């Protein structure tokens, strides 16, 4: 194939995106050899270094590979590619274990839905397939509590559905996306499925580090920055007001769009912050309701910059069209009902108590874990593999920290989901402390 004929932008970014598109469209098949760097550079009238940089970006996204004398070839995808991390975060056969691997809410702390269900109207809420996708009353409530004025707002079927639909609308092969390291595994799986170039950036207890963000943008501007500003999964950090201002200052010199996944706003103790307070025209905020009102509700609000939201809604109109207005009525009731809000407030306090109790018990054993907010603890361990084995032998299931990483950290970690840990915090802390120092035994021959 004459690749040069398909390249309209001879920059490294343009070459990578053009070749990536040919691969995803099937015009370049697995095993096809890409032209030598110097040959394509000559045909495009650019430098070999530019073509080499394009090939490097395609390698980072997993679309091509370099194999000695064969040169650079299109990589053959594996059948399970794109879901590998997601399959790791919840181990199999946990029925006989205390399951601290799954970050679902405690059913005992969810609001009683019977009142909400009894208030549902029997009148049809949809008169036309072209009705607005959000109930006007619900949109009014959501906008009143949004941390910035969104140019557009809609409802989708859960926080990860929102992230998935946004990425599908915005990403092309080779799109450069900056994420937190660590971050939620399905986010990384989705980015890999879209053949994005993923760049992981370090964080602290206030969020992304501004100097690291600035350095990544100086190297090359990004298309997207995807973060969790609130009770980050797995580390539990929340973005502070000062950090938000610092990050926004850095991003003002960038063209990157910001996507924020605020998956648990109702049960977090720290205030909800958004880069949309500073960059409203370039920020899209996702707010989930599953942790507060139940995972089977499958509802999230998405609001922010008009362009990405319009792309999402137009594409969605060709498929499901909208999120059930019947379920939207249910969410509206839960968000405005005094008893339901009291139940969410009580759950918020209880989750904070459970998390802090476990952190305190670990600190008493000289184990210093992270978990400022939310329902997870990010626990440093000597050896991830040995720590998980140690816990299983002690009757506990947890999640490998490596599933959350784009790049290795200085120390291994595991994630401990403590939202459903109602009792026995001291006993669990004993077991976690033992697991944190578990080491591989040397084989004696």
Q: Which residue in this structure is represented by tokens 């679309």? A: 63
Distance CA 376, CA 398 (A): 11
Q: What CATH number should be reported for the domain holding residue 28?
A: 1.10.10.10
Residue 442 covered by a domain: no
| pLDDT single digits (tens) 71-82 | 898 886 644 454
Q: Which domain holds residue 32?
A: 3-74
What are the backbone angles phi and psi of residue 438, rounded to the nearest 5°? -65, 135
Same domain for 362 and 424, yes or no, is: yes
Residue 358 covered by a domain: yes
- Which of 336, 359, 374 finishes a domain? 336
- Which of 336, 363, 380 finishes a domain? 336
Same domain for 267 and 368, yes or no, is: no
Q: Residue 310: name the closest of 124, 119, 169 by CA.
A: 169
| pLDDT single digits (tens) 260-314 | 999 999 999 999 999 999 999 999 999 999 999 998 888 999 999 999 999 999 9
Residue 357 covered by a domain: yes
Distance CA 283, CA 217 (A): 17
Residue 116 covered by a domain: no
Mean pLDDT confidence for 391-415: 95
Q: Residue 314: name the closest of 154, 125, 127 by CA.
A: 154
CA atoms within 13 A on the CB side of 161: 20
Q: What CATH number should be reported for the domain holding residue 348?
A: 3.90.1150.10
- Are the C-beta atoms of residues 437 and 373 closer than 8 Å to each other? no
Same domain for 95 and 184, yes or no, is: no
Same domain for 64 and 171, yes or no, is: no
pTM of the entire predicted model: 0.84
Same domain for 208 and 64, yes or no, is: no
Instruction: Kindly give, in sequence order, each residue whose CB lies less than 8 Å from that of residue 343, ignoring residues fewer than 6 positions away.
Output: 109, 110, 111, 112
Spell 325-344 as b/e; 16+ CB within 10 A means b. Answer: bebbbbbbbbbeeeebeebb
Same domain for 211 and 65, yes or no, is: no
Same domain for 296 and 352, yes or no, is: no
Collapse the DSSP code of 306 into the 3-class scheme (helix H, G, I; strand E, B; otherwise coil) and give the result.
Answer: helix
The DSSP annotation for 32-61 comes to PBPPPHHHHHHHHTS-HHHHHHHHHHHHHT
Total number of domains constituting the chain: 3
Across 20-29, 61-70, 346-355, 400-409, least confident range = 61-70
Same domain for 102 and 151, yes or no, is: no
Same domain for 324 and 345, yes or no, is: no
Same domain for 315 and 417, yes or no, is: no
């Amino acid at each position: 194939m004459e690749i040069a004929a398909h390249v309209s932008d001879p920059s490294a970014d343009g070459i990578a995106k053009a070749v990536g598109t040919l691969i995803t469209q099937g015009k370049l098949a697995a095993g096809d050899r890409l032209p030598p760097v110097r040959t394509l550079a000559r045909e495009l009238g650019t430098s070999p270094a530019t073509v080499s940089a394009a090939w490097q970006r395609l390698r980072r996204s997993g679309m091509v590979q370099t194999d000695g004398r064969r040169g650079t070839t299109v990589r053959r995808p594996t059948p399970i590619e794109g879901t590998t991390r997601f399959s790791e975060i919840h181990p199999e056969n946990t029925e006989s274990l205390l399951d601290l691997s799954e970050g679902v809410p405690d059913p005992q702390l969810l609001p009683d839905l019977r009142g909400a269900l009894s208030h549902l109207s029997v009148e049809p809420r949809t008169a036309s397939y072209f009705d607005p996708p959000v109930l006007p009353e619900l949109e009014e409530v959501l906008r009143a509590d949004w941390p910035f004025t969104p140019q557009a707002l809609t409802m989708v079927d859960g926080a990860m559905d929102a992230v998935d639909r946004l990425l599908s609308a915005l990403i092309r092969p080779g799109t450069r996306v900056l994420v937190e390291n660590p971050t939620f595994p399905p986010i990384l799986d989705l980015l890999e499925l879209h053949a994005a170039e993923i760049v992981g950036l370090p964080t602290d207890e206030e969020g992304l580090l501004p100097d690291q963000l600035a350095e990544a943008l100086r190297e090359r501007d990004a298309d997207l920055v995807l973060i969790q500003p609130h009770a980050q999964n797995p580390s539990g950090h929340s973005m502070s007001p000062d950090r938000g201002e610092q990050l926004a200052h850095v991003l003002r010199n960038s063209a990157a769009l910001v996507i924020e996944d605020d998956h648990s706003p109702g049960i977090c103790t720290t205030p909800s912050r958004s880069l949309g307070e500073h960059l409203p025209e370039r920020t899209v905020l996702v707010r989930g309701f599953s942790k507060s009102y139940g995972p089977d509700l499958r509802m999230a609000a998405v609001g922010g910059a008009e362009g990405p939201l319009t792309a999402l809604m137009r594409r969605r109109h060709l498929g499901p069209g909208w999120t059930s207005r019947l379920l939207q009525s249910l969410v509206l009731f839960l968000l405005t009902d005094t008893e339901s809000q009291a139940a969410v407030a009580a759950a918020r306090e209880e989750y904070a108590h459970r998390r802090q109790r476990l952190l305190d018990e670990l600190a008493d054993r000289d184990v210093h874990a992270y978990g400022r907010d939310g329902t997870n603890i990010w626990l440093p361990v000597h050896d991830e593999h040995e720590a998980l084995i140690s816990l299983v032998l002690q009757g506990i299931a947890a999640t490998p920290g490596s599933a959350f990483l784009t790049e290795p950290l200085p120390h291994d970690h595991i994630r401990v989901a403590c939202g459903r840990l109602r009792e026995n915090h001291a006993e669990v802390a004993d077991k976690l402390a033992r697991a944190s120092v578990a080491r591989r035994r040397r084989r004696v021959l």
